[in-house]
Amino acid sequence: MSTPSAQELIERIHPGWYLPGLHSVLAGALEEGQGHGSSAGTGSGAGASQILPAPENILRAFHTDPTQVKILIVGQDPYPTPGHAVGLAFSAELPAGEPLPKSLKNIYTEYADDLGLPAPTSGDLSPWTDRGVLLLNRVLTVQAGNAGSHRGCGWEAITEAAVRQVAANPHFAAILWGKQAQQLAPLIGAERCVMSPHPSPLSAYRGFFGSRPFSRANEILVASGGAPVNWEL
């Protein structure tokens, strides 16, 4: 099956998004992965890198109507392990029996402590997106096995434009984990942001645990006259 073109993928996102420069950045990522997995010696795939997530999922976060976004959660870049990344920040598609990514496991620990709900066992966070939560990575693609490899390739301007757009919604809060995400706070307004260290095992014990991000984001929504998000998975 042939890889969809950048234009075909852009035509699938919600028409309410305004993301200048998206075609160029997306086309560059698709071109880098073009031919990966083809037989050695056939030419077109020589030197190609496997790019994650799968092409049809790269813009998945933008399938949501931007005017319906109530809470933004910002990630860094997709999981670099093949098969994990699904185009929604922190969400993962895992084979049966495979352990959760460590950051997601820590998110679930805080979820249970904050909300008093049982920690989920599935990596699928997509139910949140149906309730007004935008799970947006700062960078939307990555080379397999090479975390951070597509930083500085243009995605930051695209996702910044997306953040500016949803931050204009009247009832809105953002959960910003880690320094990269917190660079977006001036676009949103610190009073509408819940900020803490990243849930990565390297930083979770420096203030992520105990930060109550889910209930605090709902408190911001309610204070602005909005309805809280149902976080239950």
Q: Is 124 a catalytic residue?
A: no
Around Cβ 223, how many Cβ atoms within 10 Å?
A: 12
Q: For residues 83 and 50, give the distance between their C-alpha atoms in angstroms, rounded to a whole number.
A: 11
Q: Partners of 194 in the beta sheet?
A: 175
Q: What 3-state DSSP class applies to 66?
A: helix
Please calculate the CA angle 12-17-21 and round it to the nearest 5 degrees.
Answer: 90
- Token pair of 126 as six digits: 């997509």
CB 78 within 8 A of CB 85: yes
Catalytic residue, chosen from 65, 77, 113, 114, is: 77
- Token pair of 7 as six digits: 């234009």
- Give the single-character DSSP code of 77: S
Find tokens 């098969």 and name the residue.
83
Q: Which residues are catalytic?
A: 77
